[in-house]
Amino acid sequence: MTAKFPALLALFLGVATALNAQDPGVREYPSRPDAAAQANAAAAATSPQVGKSAAVLTTMDVLDDTQIIETGDVISLRVVEDQGRREPIQLRVGATGQINAPHIGLVLAVGRTCKQLATEIKKRLEANYYNSATVIVAIDLKGEDNPAERLRISGYDIALFTVFGQVLRQGQHELPFNEDITISQAILRAGGFAQFADTRRVKIVRNTPQGHKTILVNMHDIMQRGRMQYDLYLRENDVIIVDEKKVNF
């Protein structure tokens, strides 16, 4: 009898456990943290996509409209309808607070959110280039998170080129740190040629170890005849001079 008692006790406990498992009164329900996590995930799926890259977003409805763009920030920008460039471009917001947006040139970025900047670029694109434009903008890196960029900005260590003469916007322009700019692109960023520009003899004055060097460029051949092999890349501190066309009477 004594030897059988442990076995009977074990059998009784097993039966009791099985009955408890089937009893609705002791059923285990999902904990509240799991439900909260599901609610948070659902909210995240419909909330603005803060920190998402412009490469993965496809609609302007989810662009961040809370974080303000500041000097030194690195942003990515993509025009969905631009078939020639499917990947976003990265642009640093320089000391002027502007960026060079595709097709339209300088746009003020500082003080705007990604959604506000995208809306402004969309408006300007639709005025001249597209019937409908979808512009995706995202902040890839805040200037405050990048000590090297913060140092460059605070010390005004900005690469520049200068355009003088027969263009619509003379003066200094920022040379982007992450893309190459040709002389034709520089002219476009200066607003294009003025009416009486001599497009066949545009000068680039460049500082070299041997001193200043002047390069003559026939922009008419480049921009009208498509001879892109002569479209030189600019260097920091290049000066472009567009003389007035000489008219013989």
123-169 residue pLDDT tens? 988 888 888 999 999 988 887 665 555 444 444 456 788 899 999 88
Burial 11-33 (b: 16+ CB within 10 A, else e): eeeeeeeeeeeeeeeeeeeeeee
- Say if 48 falls within a structural domain: no
Number of domains in the chain: 2
Same domain? 138 vs 165: no
Same domain? 138 vs 182: no
Same domain? 77 vs 109: yes
CATH for 83? 3.30.1950.10
Same domain? 204 vs 184: yes
- Say if 33 falls within a structural domain: no
Same domain? 166 vs 150: no
Same domain? 174 vs 210: yes
Same domain? 146 vs 171: no
Same domain? 203 vs 143: no
Same domain? 171 vs 143: no
Which of 106, 124, 154 represents a domain boundary (last residue)?
154
Identify the weakest region by mean pLDDT among 45-49, 76-80, 145-149, 181-185. Answer: 45-49
Which of 118, 133, 154 represents a domain boundary (last residue)?
154
CATH for 173? 3.10.560.10
56-102 residue pLDDT tens? 787 898 898 999 998 888 888 988 888 766 678 888 887 778 887 87
**Domain with 75 in it:** 60-154
Residue 60: phi, psi to the nearest 5? -75, -15
Separation between Cα atoms, residue 23 and residue 8, nearest integer Å:
23
Which of 106, 138, 154 represents a domain boundary (last residue)?
154
Same domain? 149 vs 67: yes
204-220 residue pLDDT tens? 999 887 888 999 999 99
- Say if 249 falls within a structural domain: no
pTM given for the model: 0.46
Q: Provide DSSP, 9-47.
A: HHHHHHHHHHHHHH-GGGPPPPPHHHHHHHHHHHHHHHS
